[in-house]
Amino acid sequence: MNQVLQNLQPRLADIFTHLHGHPEISWQEKKTTQYIANLLKEARMEPQLFEDMTGLYVDIGEGIPRVGFRTDIDALWQEVDGKFQANHSCGHDGHMTMAIGTALLLKDMEHLLPGAVRILFQPAEEKAQGARAFVEKGLIDNLEYLFGVHVRPLKELQDGTYAPALYHGAAKLFTGTILGEEAHGARPELGINVIEVGAAIVEGLQKIWTDPNVSASIKMTQFNAGGTSTNIIPGKATFSIDARAQTNEVMQALTEGLERVRVSVEAMYGAKISLQVDAHIVAALVNDEALQHMNSAIVDVVGEKACASPVITPGGEDFHFYTYERPTLKATMLGLGCGVTPGLHHPKMTFNRERLFTGVNIITRAILRAL
Amino acid sequence: MNQVLQNLQPRLADIFTHLHGHPEISWQEKKTTQYIANLLKEARMEPQLFEDMTGLYVDIGEGIPRVGFRTDIDALWQEVDGKFQANHSCGHDGHMTMAIGTALLLKDMEHLLPGAVRILFQPAEEKAQGARAFVEKGLIDNLEYLFGVHVRPLKELQDGTYAPALYHGAAKLFTGTILGEEAHGARPELGINVIEVGAAIVEGLQKIWTDPNVSASIKMTQFNAGGTSTNIIPGKATFSIDARAQTNEVMQALTEGLERVRVSVEAMYGAKISLQVDAHIVAALVNDEALQHMNSAIVDVVGEKACASPVITPGGEDFHFYTYERPTLKATMLGLGCGVTPGLHHPKMTFNRERLFTGVNIITRAILRAL
């Protein structure tokens, strides 16, 4: 296998260069999807595309696939050198390269595989929507294991070290409105001052208690009320709330706490408070068997010394929706220490591309161990 | 005097019609000033104008005036029949008519007056700036008594009834900014969330205790913080506060309480809170001797039955700056019950104009009693 991977390296380097130079934003990854499909077809594989959306998957080996690997394929939209454009500053170009390398490597040894493998090329990770769409298409229904990968910044993993799991946190963004009652400043008793209602919500958030062993926070991040007249008691406000928790249980506790705050403040002030969830990224659910397979694969490839501890990070990943929606799925994400600088999502983000080949090696071995 | 007033009535009706048809907003009452000056000159008076601002005054009788009467001369800027324009919906056209009538009446009996009277035509009452400007010009320095008048809505005074004093409340409008520290939503400990600072100010306002016998309120009426990203902890906010009190002592207590809130919340959050006073209208300071003269004048003209009790109103009047700045000045305002409908400041405000003649009669008699 090592010799085959060695021979693949110049081709994977070209593939990375192509993908890096052709970024496409979430749900618009049409050329990326077609590029990958063509490449897999040329290697005698049968990629499956969708009529209603971007992304694809391919199965390698005989029978129903029990082990999967997922990559994200979209880019960010950001300002680069003063110009707004799609940009692969989150490393999805590298993730795709590793997924393609893994597919090519597995295809090469297809006759030796004890079972089938599914490689998932998932769109719209940056919008936290693609994983949900793949779950709805039933693409993970028969999988026992699912692996993923993410390049890591220097401060989380040294270049050339690898972690068998990434513990991302959960994030939930709410927006809301408060309807009170306008009144003249001299007649406060005739109004319902939405700023006082908002202040009571802020105070209420500080009374939601959760497990102190799990890091969490819930904060109001926007509040707007009142027009140009300072002598009118405002009757309408909009606000947003940002909630974070290192586990999904604590995020659920924050969500239930927020609802208690909403009901109690409504009752106190006679105002109408509406809330909606604008975004929800679940926390990592890492399976110990999957983690052990990944750990062994890392040790196989780079030795004990380069195998790091699992990484705990407050960032989010929509990979974890797979396990959130299918709790029996055994999953983990490889943390690839490749010296990302200046940081993820920085327009000039760059990293040590040599690590992609090591990544393909580790991922393929983890899959083989799980098969 | 009654016969002279009777003869004056058609002329005063014409004067009212002219003034009503030529409204001018605060500090722009140039034609109004000139119209009144010409009218007084024609009646052999010597009106005094200013080089640097609108408004005027006239002295009648021999010596230094000891008794004054003040009218406001500006109009509001508001939408009337879908068009924004200057509009006399606060009754200043009527107040001016009464001041002119009083001047003409006093001029007619100048040789009988035991002292001199000053009639003040004050600009910019609606901006709460004109009284302060007149004080600064020294126009009330030698006055012992100062009278004023305001037409009243039906719910305060029945048409054809008159009150010897108007107890307006104090109002103070503050604007402020909060400087905290921006941070990523996942790292709240690195920021200072200005919404939490604002909520603490709102809570603090509710802890300012003042004399429960005096009506008062202090409320936040605007609050704006946060941009379009709901996952960023906001670092800057703007807000406004509306304070009301029926006495100036309680307004002072509210002001001092607000400063305590500012200092304590700054200390709690490490934020920088700045505050400024955008407007300040002081509460009525009514002198009992002045009130008794006005009361006697009312009874003289319309009898006991039509003499109402002093009116307590949460609205504001910059007339009271005269007594606030010169506490020895004996002052009161006549409340003219003339059936104002639908209400003061309503674009279609109208009232019973016949009452203006009764007003001239009462005001002139109050002045004569105080001389």
pLDDT at B316 over 90: no
B20 labelled ligand-binding: no
Beta-carbon separation of A221 and B221 below 8 A: no
The answer to whether A69 touches A59, Cβ cutoff 8 Å, is: no
Q: What is the CATH number of the domain that holds B202?
A: 3.30.70.360
Query: Domain end: A255, A281, A307, which one?
Result: A281
User: Quick check: A164 and A206 in contact, CB under 8 A?
Assistant: no
Same domain, A147 and A250: no
Tell me which DSSP letter residue B284 carries: P
Say whether both A137 and A155 belong to one domain.
yes
CA A77 – CA B94 distance, rounded (Å) = 65
State what percent of residues in chain A have pLDDT above 70.
100
Claim to verify: residue B142 and residue B86 sit in the same structural domain: yes
Beta strands in A215-329 (DSSP E): 216-225, 232-233, 236-245, 272-281, 311-313
Select the residue of B221, B230, B278 nearest A240 (Cβ to Cβ).
B230
Task: Using an 8 Å CB-CB cutoff, list chain B residues near A195.
Answer: 198, 202, 219-223
Burial class (CB in 10 A: 0-12, 13-18, 19+), A141: exposed
What are B335's strand-pairing partners? B150, B163
- Chain A CB contacts of B198 below 8 Å: 195, 199, 202, 223
Q: B190 to chain A: which residues are within 8 Å by CB?
A: none
Buried-exposed string A196-227: b where 16+ CB fall within 10 A, e elsewhere: bbbbbbbbbbeebebeeeebbbbbbbbbbbbe
Contact B171, A231 (CB under 8 A): yes
Phi, psi dihedrals of residue B216, rounded to the nearest 5°: -160, 155
**Placement of tokens 């722009």 in the chain:** B28
Burial code (b: 16+ CB inside 10 Å, e: under 16) for A266-279 equals beebebebebeeeb
> Is the sign of the CA dihedral B55, B60, B63, B64 positive or negative?
negative
**Do A171 and B187 make contact, defined as CB atoms within 8 angstroms?**
no
B338 is in an annotated binding site: no
**Per the CB < 8 Å rule, is A198 touching B199?**
yes
Say how far apart CA B54 and CA B124 lie, in whole Å.
9
CATH number at residue B354: 3.40.630.10
CA distances to A214, A241, A244, A245, B156 from A210, in Å: 8, 17, 12, 10, 56
The amino acid occupying position B26 is S
Are B275 and B336 members of one domain? no
| Residue where one domain finishes, among candidates B249, B279, B309 | B279
Residue of A202, A217, A229 with shortest CB distance to B195: A202
Domain count, chain B: 2
Are B60 and B156 found together in one domain? yes
Q: ∠ CA B14-B17-B22 to the nearest 5 degrees?
A: 130
Is the same domain home to A133 and A212?
Answer: no
Report H helices in B183-309: 194-205, 248-269, 288-302
In sequence order, what DSSP letters do the residues of B56-124 get, joined into one string?
EEEEESSSSEEEEEEEE--BEEEEETTEEEEE--SSHHHHHHHHHHHHHHHHHTGGG-SSEEEEEEE--
Reported as a single tens digit per residue, the pLDDT across B148-181 is: 999 998 889 999 999 999 999 999 999 999 999 9
Q: Which residue has the tokens 């009648």?
A: B60
Asked if the Cβ–Cβ distance from B223 to A225 is below 8 Å, we say yes
Is-contact B280 B207, C-beta < 8 A? no
**Listed residues B279, B312, B334: the one ending a domain:** B279
| Closest CB from B185, B196, B202 relative to A242 | B185
Residue B175: how many other CB atoms lie within 10 Å: 17
Residues B139 and B233 in one domain: no
Q: Is there a contact between A33 and A85 (Cβ–Cβ < 8 Å)?
A: no
Q: pLDDT tens, B261-276?
A: 999 999 999 999 999 9
Residues A94 and A234 in one domain: no
What tokens does B268 get? 């709690």
Closest CA to B75 of B39, B17, B131, B123: B123
Residue B204 has pLDDT above 80, yes or no: yes
Conformation bin of residue A208: beta by default, left when phi > 0, alpha when psi is -120 to 50:
beta
Residues A27, A117 within the same domain: yes
- The distance of Cα B218 from the centroid of its chain, to the nearest Å, equals 20
Residue A161 and residue A182 in one domain: no
State whether A119 and A143 are in the same domain: yes
The shortest C-alpha distance from B225 to chain A (Å) reads 5
Whether residues A245 and A130 fall in one domain: no
Contact B186 A240 (CB under 8 A): no
Can you give the pLDDT of all 371 residues of chain A as single tens digits?
Answer: 788 999 999 999 999 999 999 999 999 999 999 999 999 999 999 999 999 999 999 999 999 999 999 999 999 888 888 888 999 999 999 999 999 999 999 999 999 999 999 999 999 998 889 999 999 999 999 999 999 999 998 889 999 999 999 999 999 999 999 999 988 887 788 889 999 999 999 999 999 999 999 999 999 999 999 877 778 889 999 999 999 999 999 999 999 999 999 999 999 999 999 999 998 999 999 999 999 999 999 999 999 999 999 999 878 899 999 999 999 999 999 999 999 988 888 888 999 999 999 999 999 999 999 99
The nearest CA of chain A is from the CA of B195 a distance in Å of 7
For residue range A296-325, list pLDDT tens digits in order.
999 999 999 999 999 998 788 999 999 999
Cβ–Cβ under 8 Å, residues A149 and A72? no
Asked if the bond preceding A342 is cis, omega within 30° of 0, the reply is yes
Range of the domain at B350: 2-169+284-370
Cα B31 from Cα B49, distance rounded (Å): 12
- DSSP conformational letter for A283: P
Would you list which residues of chain B are within 8 Å, Cβ to Cβ, of chain A?
169, 171, 173, 175, 185-188, 193, 195-196, 198-200, 202-203, 217, 219-227, 229-234, 237, 240-242, 244, 278, 314-315
